[in-house]
Amino acid sequence: MRILKYFRAIFPLMDTQKTIEAFRRSLVISNKSSHTTDAYVRCVKDFFQETGKEPDGITTEDIEIYLVKLKEEKRYATASLAQSFSVLRHFFDQFMKKPLTIAMKAPKNTRKLPAVLTKEEVKALIDTAEGARDKAILQTLYCGLRVSECISLKKEDVELESRKATVRGGKGNKDRTIRLSNELVKLIKDTVLERKDTSPYIFVKSTGKPLNVRSVQKLVEKYARKAKITKKISPHKLRHSFATHLLESGVDIRYIQTLLGHSDLSTTQIYTHVSDKKLDAIKLPGDEL
């Protein structure tokens, strides 16, 4: 009897693991990035661990109970809750072909306006940085790259003569071309020439190994303190600042969309709410009365 109970317990687990692995394969085949694939699989695994059920036994109520637990017990932020809901909808409604979430209302994700640095603060941050590599990292982030894109940049991706670089496998697994400033071109040259390792990456540790995301986060925080910038700062804030400063300079928002690698213009349009300098400069009809 105990053996029978054991097999009844183990087979649903095996079925769940097989289903999750099949889901992972479907994400890879649909060209999802490795980061997105890992995040989706983690979410689905956590769901089944919490419910203790096999895929065919899941109901809409199970999904609702799980989401409530994430919000009330695990204190998930609205954006994280909305992401979990989106993953479960993708898994059950699209992959499993079980429309369990069709009648559910998605958590409302209230998008916050990104805080940005002024041009003066960006300059102070870069001026404070020590060495060509660190200055180049900050300048590269200020070209609109995500931190993951910055540390993945390879020597073969950069065309110094034409001041261009190809960002490969960005969000949505898409490539895009960015422009490099004259100063950044010089810094990249100095960064690569100073090194003796054979790593294909532009930015590496002193050991020659690639940098990781946390390394760059700590680097940005370190120079922000040295530059006496009191705002909460991160690598992504330099990306936000880049987009906002372009908009303030009169660059068309569709060009900014391309430089940032946004697939949807509505994502880029958030910067029209951040930048109010243009609004301040508008001459109102009432001023002429």
Any idea which residues carry the catalytic annotation? 146, 171, 236, 239, 262, 271
Please tell me the number of Cα atoms within 13 Å of 98 on its side-chain side. Answer: 12
The amino acid present at 253, given as its one-letter code, is: I
- What is the Cα 86 distance to its own chain's centre? 16
Q: Is the dihedral of CA 250, 255, 261, 264 positive or negative?
A: positive
CA dist list (Å): 211 to 35, 154, 205, 215 = 17, 12, 6, 6
Query: The tokens 């895929």 sit on which residue?
Result: 55
CB 149 within 8 A of CB 165: no
Tokens for 97, please give them: 């072909």
